[in-house]
Structures are given as C-alpha cells and as structure tokens.
C-alpha cells in the first residue's frame, strides 16, 4: 500500500481484486456459518472491488430481482417475507452506502 501525493492510499489492482474476492468468500461463509460475521467482509469487499465492478453490479441486480419476485409471489407467506426483507434491505442500504462512498474516497 502506497500513499499518493493527494493523501489517498493506492493498492495494486490485482491485489485489490484478489482480496476483494476472498472477502466475498468470507461473506458467503458468514451467511452459511452464523459464527463468522459476514457484513464487515461484504462492505470491505465492495470498497476494494469498487461499486462499479461488473460482478458486484450483476450480483446486486440478481438480489433485487429476487426480492421483487418474493414481493410479488402468489403465496401470501412468501410475499410477506419478501416485503419484510425488502424493508430491512433498503434501510441497511441507506445506512451503509454513504460509508462505502467515504471509504472509496480514501482508498480509491
């Protein structure tokens, strides 16, 4: 990690990509195993890979489509679950997005 003249840190792009993908793997493990906290790994992976990374954007699009599918499902219990998850997802997104943008400015 090198400090640039403008005060931002610069990482090797290959190292950033590798570390970001490995943190996504930790996040997936955290989703499966409740012992590992996965959300910090996800936020760091987004910061390292960048919000405009193609893989992250496609995964986010798939997540939003699955939430939409759940909200419109004909089975009432699934529809209610989709609405419940959507409210929490949008609240979390509103809380985390400014912090991710601030971290991208530092490490970008």
What are 15-64's pLDDT values in tens digits? 888 888 898 888 888 878 877 777 888 888 888 888 788 888 898 899 89
User: What backbone phi and psi angles, to 5 degrees, belong to 75?
Assistant: -80, 120
Handedness of CA 18, 26, 88, 78 (dihedral sign): positive
Q: Burial code of 52-71, b = ≥16 C-beta within 10 A, e = fewer? A: ebeebeeeeeeeeeebeebb
Mean pLDDT, rounded, of the chain: 84
With beta carbons less than 8 A apart as the criterion, state whether 11 and 67 touch.
no
State how many domains the chain has.
Answer: 1
Look up the domain containing 26 and give its range.
2-107
What pTM did the predictor assign?
Answer: 0.69
Answer yes or no: is pLDDT of 81 > 90.
Answer: yes
Answer yes or no: is pLDDT of 83 > 90.
Answer: yes
Q: Spell out the residues 6+ positions from residue 68 whose beta carbon is closer than 8 angstroms to its own.
A: 82
């Amino acid at each position: 990690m090198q400090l640039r003249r403008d005060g931002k840190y610069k990482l090797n792009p290959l190292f950033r990509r590798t570390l970001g993908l490995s943190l996504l793997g930790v996040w997936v493990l955290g989703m499966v195993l409740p012992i590992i906290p996965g959300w910090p790994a996800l936020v760091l992976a987004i910061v390292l890979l960048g919000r405009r990374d193609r893989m992250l954007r496609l995964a986010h699009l798939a997540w939003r489509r699955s939430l939409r599918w759940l909200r419109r499902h004909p089975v009432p219990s699934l529809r209610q679950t989709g609405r419940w998850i959507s409210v929490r997802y949008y609240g979390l997104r509103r809380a985390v997005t400014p912090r991710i943008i601030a971290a991208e400015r530092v490490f970008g």
